[in-house]
């Protein structure tokens, strides 16, 4: 248990940040799922449009520190490749 006032404040802060960051990650997952479902349905135009919307969200996640840079780069690459292969 935290004893110092600063440690107590950090606990409060960390709880708030965890809630915000969880919402950010959830939002990113929603965008990625939209791309994946369009790919599964074989709808290239819809998948390309969804990917266009997902990329800035994923990049924002990296900028905010909720996702790792290489993880997002890998997802970009795989989703882009999957959309291109629908041709």
Into how many domains does the chain fold?
1
pLDDT tens per residue across span 7-49: 999 999 999 999 999 999 999 999 999 999 999 999 999 999 9
Task: Name the residue range of residue 62's domain.
Answer: 5-84
CATH code of 56's domain: 1.20.58.110
Block residue for tokens 């795989």: 78
* Average pLDDT, rounded, for the chain: 96
Mention every residue, 6+ apart, whose C-beta is less than 8 A from residue 70: none
> Tokens standing for 58?
């994923």
pLDDT for res 84: 96
Distance (Å, rounded) from C-alpha 47 to C-alpha 52?
9
């Amino acid at each position: 248990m935290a004893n110092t006032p600063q440690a107590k404040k950090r606990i409060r802060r960390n709880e708030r940040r965890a809630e915000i960051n969880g919402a950010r990650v959830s939002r990113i997952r929603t965008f990625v799922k939209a791309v994946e479902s369009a790919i599964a349905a074989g709808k290239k135009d819809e998948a390309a449009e969804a990917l266009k919307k997902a990329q800035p969200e994923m990049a924002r996640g990296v900028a905010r520190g909720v996702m790792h840079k290489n993880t997002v780069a890998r997802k970009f690459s795989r989703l882009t490749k999957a959309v291109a292969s629908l041709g």
